[in-house]
Amino acid sequence: MFRRGFLPNVGNLLAFEATARHGSVSRAAEELNLTQSAVSRQIQQLEESLGVSLFSRARQRVVLTDVGRLYASQVRGTLTELADATHQAIALSGTSGVLNLATLPTFGTRWLMPRIPDFFTRHPDATVNFGVRLVPFDFADEPFDTAIHFGEPHWPGAICELLRKEEAVPVCSPAYRQREGIHEPQDLARARLLQQSTRPTAWAEWFGNVDVAIVNPMRGPRFEQFAMVAQAAAAGLGVAMIPQFLIGDELASGRLEVLFPHSVLSSGAYYLVYPEHKAEAPLVRSFRDWLISETRQG
């Protein structure tokens, strides 16, 4: 519960934050469209309510005290959160709710974005905000209702719904294949292997599946995201192990081609994750049902 006596006037906080940021009462007054005396009075009122000095004053200059410096940082964060909350409240006008989704970059851009219009067609009053997270996080500390996760179905305090497995195949550009004379799996032993940093054993597993001996299957440039690997392969940099569902456009256009039908099934999988206490939230439930249906269709 907030104690009203400990909540300063917002106008006083704005005057303090602007003065702290500019190091000048006059510049703060100009930004806030107030007189210098009005800004000085608001800062004085804030100092009196707190019982501390926030600035030391020397002639025409104001300098934050140690307490003022700490308070300015915290006030700035609070004002930013208040502004964001206000914008979100305005944005929600006329909607049936908002869903804040954290997704993996390549999954989000390559697979989810082309399909998300169908969700909005089915739920025209819903709002979905998209963010990016690469690793699990605490939902209590982040502004998300749900997340797309790759790995094992382990996320403390959350439910993990299986979306799909990940099966990768070797691909490269037609020009690279012709230039390097790639006709048999063993030909890849001399090719440049493009590595996805979160799938470090993919090439080793693939070569093992096709019974091809290779000195160092982990050699070659490394990339953090499949989107970067796909771009590099399409540019003719080398061969890559990529799930087909993430490179549909490149395969359809002919920028990439599948070299051999042999694939590697990743030990991890894609999951939709959401906090246990939001399992029955209407928009979370609607998005979950739609997303699971979409992944079942490919």
Q: How high is the mean pLDDT of the chain? A: 91
**The pair of three-digit structure tokens given for residue 31, joined into one six-digit string:** 């930004």
DSSP state of 276: G
Report d(CA 264, CA 249) in Å as an integer: 21
Question: Residue 91 to residues 85, 127, 132, 143, 285: CA-CA distances in angstroms?
Answer: 10, 9, 21, 16, 22
- Residue with the two structure tokens 């905000």: 129
Task: Tell me: pLDDT of 221 over 70.
Answer: yes
Query: What DSSP letter does each residue of 84-128 carry, written as one string?
Result: HHHHHHHHTTT-SEEEEEEE-HHIIIIIIHHHHHHHHHH-TTEEE
Q: In terms of residue numbers, what domain contains 37?
A: 4-91
CB hemisphere CA count around 182 (13 angstroms):
24
Burial 140-154 (b: 16+ CB within 10 A, else e): eeeebbbbbbbbeee
pLDDT at 94: 46
Strand bridging mode 146-151 / 97-103: parallel
Mark whether 80 and 131 lie in a shared domain: no
Mark whether 151 and 234 lie in a shared domain: no
Q: Is 36 left (phi over 0), alpha (psi -120 to 50) or beta?
A: alpha
Q: What is the mean pLDDT of residues 282-296?
A: 94
Q: What is the mean pLDDT of residues 257-273?
A: 95
pLDDT digits (tens, 9 = 90+) for 87-130: 766 555 444 588 999 999 999 999 999 999 999 999 998 989 99
The CATH number of the domain where 39 resides is what? Answer: 1.10.10.10
Q: Answer with the one of 33, 56, 91 that is the final residue of a domain.
A: 91
Mark whether 214 and 173 lie in a shared domain: yes
pLDDT digits (tens, 9 = 90+) for 149-188: 999 999 998 999 999 999 999 999 999 999 999 999 999 9
Q: Is 246 left (phi over 0), alpha (psi -120 to 50) or beta?
A: alpha
3-state class of 132 per DSSP? strand
pLDDT at 95: 46
Return all residues near 295 (Cβ < 8 A) that are at least 6 apart. Answer: 163, 164, 270
Q: What is the mean pLDDT of residues 47-68?
A: 87
Question: Residue 289 to residues 43, 113, 286: CA-CA distances in angstroms?
Answer: 53, 17, 5
Report d(CA 50, CA 245) in Å as an integer: 59
Mark whether 140 and 200 lie in a shared domain: no
If one compares 98 and 269, the residue with the highest pLDDT of the two is 269
Report d(CA 218, CA 172) in Å as an integer: 17
pLDDT digits (tens, 9 = 90+) for 67-79: 999 999 999 988 8
pLDDT at 7: 79
Q: Answer with the one of 76, 91, 106 that is the final residue of a domain.
A: 91
Query: What DSSP letter does each residue of 173-214 carry, written as one string?
Result: -HHHHHHHT--SGGGGGGSPEEEETT-TTHHHHHHHHTT---
Number of domains in the chain: 3
Mark whether 64 and 126 lie in a shared domain: no
CB 172 within 8 A of CB 230: no
Mark whether 81 and 111 lie in a shared domain: no
Mark whether 131 and 264 lie in a shared domain: no
Task: Tell me: pLDDT of 213 over 60.
Answer: yes
Mark whether 195 and 156 lie in a shared domain: no
Mark whether 68 and 19 lie in a shared domain: yes
**The pair of three-digit structure tokens given for residue 270, joined into one six-digit string:** 């894609």
The CATH number of the domain where 194 resides is what? Answer: 3.40.190.10
Mark whether 78 and 101 lie in a shared domain: no
Mark whether 281 and 144 lie in a shared domain: yes
Residue 264, Cβ neighbours under 10 Å: how many? 22
Mark whether 151 and 280 lie in a shared domain: yes
CA-wise closest residue to 15 among 52, 51, 67, 68: 68
